[in-house]
Amino acid sequence: MDKILEGLISSAHTLPVKKAIVKKVVEAAEKEVAAEECQALFAVTTRLVLLGEDAFQKQVGFQVLEAYARYHRSQFEAFFSKDFVLGLLQQGYEQLDHQDPAVVDYIHCGLRLLISCPAVLDLFTVVQVEVLRMVCERPGPAACARLAALLSDFVQCVPRDKGGVLFCQQLVRTIGYFHCLASQEQELGEYVTQVTKVSTLLQNIWKAEPATLLPSLQEVFAIISSTDPSFEPSIALASLVQYIPVQMITVLIKSLTTDQNVKDANMTKALCRMIDWLSWPLAQHVDTWVIALLKGLAAVQKFTILIDVTLLKIELVFNRLWYPIVRQGALAVLSHMLLSFQHSPEAFHLVIPHTVHLVQSLQADGLPTSKAFLLQFTELIHCMMYQYSGFPDLYDHILEAIKDLPKPSEEKIKLVLNQSAWTSQSNSFASGPLRQAGKSETGKTGLVNLGNTCYMNSILQTLFMATDFRRHVLSLRLNGSSTLMKKLQMLFAFLAHTQRAAYAPKNFLEVSRPPWFNAGSQQDCSEYLRFLLDRLHEEEKIIQVLESAKPSVPTDAVDSNSKDASTATSLEEREASSPKVDDNDRRTLIERTFGGKLVTGIRCTHCDCVSEKEEPFTDLSLAFCPSRDASKSDESKSDESKVCQGSVNGGSETLMPGTNDQASHAHAIPESNEPPLSVPDLVDYFLAPEILDQENAYFCGKCCSLRRAERTLKVMSAPEYLILTLLRFAYDAKCHVRRKILDNVTIPPHLRLPVHRPSMPSPPPPPASSPPPVDSSESSENLAKKLKPSRRDEEVQSVRYVLSSVVMHSGVSSESGHYYSYGCDNAAQGDATCPKEDLNQGEQVREGPSGQAGGAVPPSDWLLFNDSRVTFASFQSVQNITSRFPKDTAYVLMYRKQEVVGQDAIKGPATSGTRQSAEPPLQKELLDAIIKDNKLYLQEQELNARAQALQAPSSSCSFRPNGSDDNNPPGSCGPSGGGGGGGGGGFNTISRLVF
């Protein structure tokens, strides 16, 4: 028999002859064989199995061994003894190393042949000890795969208790040493199969012994967090992720991110290596774990790690998108990394050079999966370009490549960005002060109350919500950094793009506070608004004068001088980004946006002589009507002069047209059964004729004596934004105190303002009756002694406005209380224009020169700005605030002009050049300032979280590297303001694997 086997080993016979001989040998196993001969036969077959020169010889060895062991069990049991197996596992076989996969296969075969023998129990004990020692020696993936197959068939050989924990940990570490050096498809596939077998073994052990799972995961983290430069863990560790229960994500991430023993350098390394796992082809849930860890780090404000890892790995993650087998998981991670990295465009700009090529490749692919993926990818790109506009040189070619693909709506983009920012990740792991006060769900930024500065905060938020004004301010090219407009531009940029929940406007307060305002004391917001607009207007006027005084530089001269050329370029850029206005229009931005013209006319009832004076205005101060008592005659009603606002806490003493200095005796309107006043009522009262008589008699220049007269007010030019101030603070002459009128005033969503416009020119009258010529320079002077123009020379048009913002005052006097504001978030969208034919549909137009357009209420995209706090609100809350909280009353209202299109349409703002249809891109100077402050804010949050975490209890599981606001009234005004915070899959395409 020995000679027969030796003949099989030799190569003298052909393959058919060899197979015939093997068949005879196997058939001879059924015959009686002496013990000595069996032992010799087992030795020969063992040698053939372990040292065979080719696969055929090894196969012959296994066939003969199995045949004789089956029919001669006792002889094989004596041969395959405990000592023999121990020798194989410790010393190998002749020149064969003990870690060789053939040794493990031979022992596996022997155990299978002896499974029903009692002696196999002793063999299990030996193997159980030796496999632990073997994995500690870091065998290769082939040997580990054979070992995994052995232990999967014979679970009795798996170490138990502490030995089991240690075995799992060492097997994990062994996987960390698996490195694939193969480059051929077959070799790559074999490597992946081997790793999968080993990871499946760990999964089975974790299921049978749950206590081994956590120590195994700790070992995984210890490996991937190692900062040893001489060791780089294998991405084969990714094969373990799919076997970790997804339900453990919250517990493990909590332990990982709150463990004080985990240093930043270790966490950075671990996160980078987990991101590398996206290259592993068959692993599932890797993206889920990576994103969970990123969110966990953001929740505990470890922003430095997130910044470093994102910038280091963003291009690698992007490159994974080229490989279909790992594409979807890579996109999930890429989306989260880009959308959360909102303090700077740096990460997005790193992947821009590769974007168009990828889009073109996906479009050329034509596969349904590629098309679906492309839609997801382009949505991400649109979000990022929206977040960081202002780089047309970088984005133009991208827009061209994706122009035929659908674009998400602006509302969806804002929602995605708001939910994805690091600062929006709630910390569910901490409690109390460790929880982060992130930006509100509205996505808007509040303003920190710097000590009774709610009067400023409410006005600034109102101006910010004036969409056209905000866009023009942001688009201005301003040279000086010390101007008030530059400070306002910077403030608007921060309100639009900062990641802080609330921004502290310290610099703006210093330059915009009126000199007579005492620091730290409550002031009047209307007075502040008027001062602010006046300052901005005068500042721009001065700049215009200075620029007009500069000599113009011819084009030829500019080309011949580099300095002049740069100046010309700067001017061209400024003109390109400035609002498109008429070249002859020298009005300032304040005039174009808030400016209107009002004509005050006084007619002597004795001689009909008319004196008119035209004045500009930026706001209309509306007095409250006197008591509407039916018993009073119309004449007695008209005798009651209209009230004016006295100075509020050292406020403006300037009287609006239609008021007089002796009519400051306003008091609260008595309660009555009459309908409540509305804003149109106050506008009508403001524009109603007023009789001047007795002590208020008018001195007529023509009569040269005091005469009874009629004073009228006419709006000659309607502003783009109509500001209305309700004069609620008045002086009570009887009690000698300043009181607040608490009457509820109905606020309509739409308003019509009567505007007098010159009618079509008529043939000139005969020379004898023609009025004297009027010099244009006298247009703003008192035109006394001029005849009153005929009514046919003017026509009254009703200009439609939609409500944009409302400033509320909470309190009973001007010296105390609190200001907050409501703003409509879609003032620049659906309500910007309306057809003329829709004006009268479903409306009940009020009688009188002004009225409420009672059409549909504006959409409920209303926000409540209460210092640091910004919440969602509704138009109903704006209308009902005083009925629910009697001390909270509307004070300053801002209406936005609507453009009416259609037949006989009112020529709206489209011709005025003050409307912009989109947010302007941020200038580099503003963007750099915001990026710098956003990074500073993230560092502040991180430092605060670290300081607070030192006082928090240690985590139970250590991962050491070495082992709407409608229900509550607003709060009082103070330093704290109204809020806080400053701040599986198939394995088919091996060639497309990524390692």
Helical axes 213-224 vs 264-276, angle rounded to 10°:
100
Q: Mention every residue, 6+ apart, whose C-beta is less than 8 A from residue 220.
A: 172, 237, 240
Q: Cβ–Cβ contacts within 10 Å for residue 167, how many? A: 24
Query: Tokens in use for 91?
Result: 């010393």
Q: What pairs with residue 115 in β-bridges? A: none
Element housing 269 (H / E): helix 264-276
Spatial distance between the Cα atoms of 123 and 138, rounded to a whole number of angstroms = 23
* DSSP SS3 for 319: helix
DSSP state of 287: H
Q: Which of 106, 148, 114 is nearest to 131 (CA)?
A: 148
Q: Find the catalytic residue in 497, 750, 809, 818.
A: 818
Alpha-helical (H) ranges within 579-671 are 589-594, 634-639
Residue 208: Cβ within 10 Å count: 12
Query: Alpha-carbon distance 962 to 956, whole Å?
Result: 17
Instruction: Report which of 541, 558, 851 is spatially closest to residue 687, judged by C-alpha positions.
Output: 851
Handedness of CA 787, 793, 798, 799 (dihedral sign): negative
Q: Which residues of 500-510 are buried (b: 16+ CB within 10 A; e: fewer)?
A: bbbbbbeebbe
Determine how β-strand 833-835 pairs with β-strand 794-810.
Answer: unpaired
Asked whether the CA dihedral 319, 323, 324, 326 is positive or negative, the reply is negative
DSSP 8-state secondary structure symbol assigned to residue 236: G
454 in active site: yes
- Chain-centre distance of CA 203, in angstroms? 39
CA distances from 509 to 451, 472, 476, 480, 754 (A): 11, 21, 21, 18, 37
179 is catalytic: no
Task: Specify the amino acid at residue 469.
Answer: F
Residue 965 CA, chain-centre distance (Å), reads 22
Report the side by side order of strands in the sheet with 783-786: 690-692, 709-717, 596-604, 610-617, 783-786
* Amino acid type, 163: G
What whole-number distance in Å separates Cα of residue 566 and Cα of residue 68? 97
Distance CA 778, CA 346 (A): 57
Q: How far apart are CA 637 and CA 645, in angstroms?
A: 20
Cβ-contact 879, 748 below 8 angstroms: no
For residue 469, list its beta bridge partners: none
302: alpha, beta or left? (left if phi > 0; alpha if psi -120 to 50) = beta
The neighbouring-strand residues paired with 783 are: 612
Dihedral, CA atoms, 546, 548, 551, 553, nearest 10 degrees? 120
Q: Which two tokens stand for residue 730?
A: 């008045």
Q: Tell me how far apart the alpha carbons of residues 450 and 911 are, in angstroms, rounded to a whole number.
A: 41
Residue type, 16: P
Q: Residues 6 or more apart from 258 whose CB is under 8 A from it?
A: 300, 429, 430, 949, 952, 955
Task: Output the DSSP codes for 891-950.
Answer: EEEEEEE-EEESTT----GGGTT---SSPPPPPHHHHHHHHHHHHHHHHHHHHHHHHHHT
Options 157, 168, 454, 700, the catalytic residue: 454
User: How far is it, in rounded angstroms, from Cα 419 to Cα 405?
Assistant: 24
Give me the count of residues in the chain. 995
Distance of CA 286 to the CA centre of its chain: 24
Tokens of residue 698, six digits? 């008018």
User: Catalytic residue numbers?
Assistant: 454, 818
